[in-house]
Amino acid sequence: MAISKDSVPAGQVEYRPMALKDIDGVLDVERQAFATPWSRQAFLTELVDNQFAHYVVAVSSNRIIGYAGVWLIVDEAHVTNIAVHPDMQGKRVGEGLLKQLFVLAVSRYIQRITLEVRVSNSVAQNLYRKYGFQGVGVRKGYYTDNGEDALIMWANVPDMTDRI
């Protein structure tokens, strides 16, 4: 479903914890953003059964325009997904979602945070580097839709507190 690019005036995005009622909107973003989207059941499992999972949605004009997820385990965090509706990309929604994950990580005394990103996704890599992530390795053939490699990135959370 298309979203008007004019529907997000600067500063008019609300970030909040994802709830079960948000799954339909998140699935719309997921299907628009990814070649191999997660299923409804995957999100239900994350929200209901996974004690480590925390998800945030970005909302504008009562529509979900993006979401992000992270697993918090002891003193480390693993970003599972960050997705923004294609019509809203380039409006700093993804950056806002990433900041929300950092705020959550800091509040839980997380020391390190990791993620995987497509080696071809230079826009996302540049955003992650802006917030202190560094590439440390490659997972060969990580993405099942086309066998693309994933760049593994890590960052120290205490080093990022001045950027959020």
Q: Catalogue the active-site residues.
A: 116, 128
Contact status, residue 77 vs residue 101, Cβ threshold 8 Å:
yes
Report the chain's C-alpha Rg in angstroms: 15
**E strands present in 5-164:** 14-17, 53-60, 63-73, 76-84, 112-118, 134-139, 150-156
Strand partners, 68: 56, 82
Contact status, residue 40 vs residue 27, Cβ threshold 8 Å:
yes
Cα 108 to Cα 52, 99, 104, 159, distances in angstroms: 12, 14, 6, 15
